[in-house]
Amino acid sequence: MKLAPSILSADFSSLLEDIKKVEDAGCDLLHIDVMDGHFVPNITMGPPVVKSLKGKTKLPFDVHLMIENPDRYISQFVEAGADIISVHSEACVHLSRTIQLIKSYNVKAAVALNPATPLDVIEYVLEDLDMVLIMSVNPGFGGQSFINSSLTKIEKLKKMIESKGLNIDIQVDGGVKADNVKSVIDAGANVIVAGSAIFGSEDIESTVKQFRQNII
Ligand code: DX5
Ligand code: ZN
């Protein structure tokens, strides 16, 4: 299991210190939630913030774009240091083109699906992807409750990937905590985003350990 703490729940006034904590605790990726106030009802950060973190942490940047028409900003996030870029199928008119654009920069490409979006929308682009992001909350805010129908969706996606003989990561984002991570992993996910559960914890190191112990 790869753990990707979402900095949405970090303390922005001491962001780098918080990032060091998750790095020291053995997390694998840094999940960066970008929101535009259009696609989702919240505004977070843009390329300058991401760029300011470049070279300050060993954690790869997993950039989750919750923005309309993301093509306009892909190059800026690449320049800012993104290693993985996720775009929402619901926000792309030409999803295949957007995926090719991300890949043209030698950055890993992922597609995110809202809870109500069926898996069919990625059927014909699946082989072009490095990762699929299953949203287990409606995007926009940290600290929401896990939507249980996501488990069936993860299982179906896993089967879809296996039936095509592909090797694609399944990331799950929203409402994942140490006490429900096992069901998410058992359903077939291998990359877990956790915001409030990790950054909201008093003891980040022991929370990360708990996540890892609970999936055994
Ligand atoms: C939601 C974001 C998530 C969020 C997860 O729109 O994409 O990454 O930060 O936060 P938690 O883990 O608190 O649900
Ligand atoms: Zn996210």
Domains, the chain? 2-213 (3.20.20.70)
**Counting atoms of ligand 1 from 1, which one is nearest the CA of 194?**
12
3-state secondary structure labels for all residues of the chain: CEEEEEHHHCCHHHHHHHHHHHHHCCCCCEEEEEEECCCCCCECCCHHHHHHHCCCCCCCEEEEEECCCHHHHHHHHHHHCCCEEEEEHHHCCCHHHHHHHHHHCCCEEEEEECCCCCHHHHCCCHHHCCEEEEECCCCCCCCCCCCCHHHHHHHHHHHHHHHCCCCCEEEEECCCCCCCHHHHHHHCCCEEEECHHHHCCCCHHHHHHHHHHHCC
Summary mean pLDDT of the chain: 98
Instruction: Determine the distance separating the centroid of ligand 1 and the alpha carbon of 166, expressed in angstroms.
Output: 27
Model confidence at 53, pLDDT cuts 50, 70, 90, reads very high
Ligand nearest to the CA of 84: 2
**Counting atoms of ligand 1 from 1, which one is nearest the CA of 42?**
6
Model confidence at 74, pLDDT cuts 50, 70, 90, reads very high
If one residue of 141, 176, 177, 199 were mutated to test the ligand 1 pocket, choosing by the most ligand atoms within 8 A of its CB, it would be 141
The CB of 6 under 6 Å from ligand 1? The reply is yes
What integer pLDDT is reported at residue 148 of this predicted model?
Answer: 98
What integer pLDDT is reported at residue 185 of this predicted model?
Answer: 98
- In angstroms and rounded to an integer, the radius of gyration of the C-alpha atoms of the chain is 16
The CB of 174 under 6 Å from ligand 1? The reply is yes
The CB of 137 under 6 Å from ligand 1? The reply is yes
Nearest Cα residue to 144 out of 193, 106, 185, 71: 193
**pTM summary value:** 0.98
Give catalytic status of residue 28 as yes or no.
Answer: no
Mean pLDDT, residues 137-155: 98
Mean pLDDT, residues 198-212: 98
Ligand nearest to the CA of 35: 1
Token pair recorded at residue 197: 């559960």
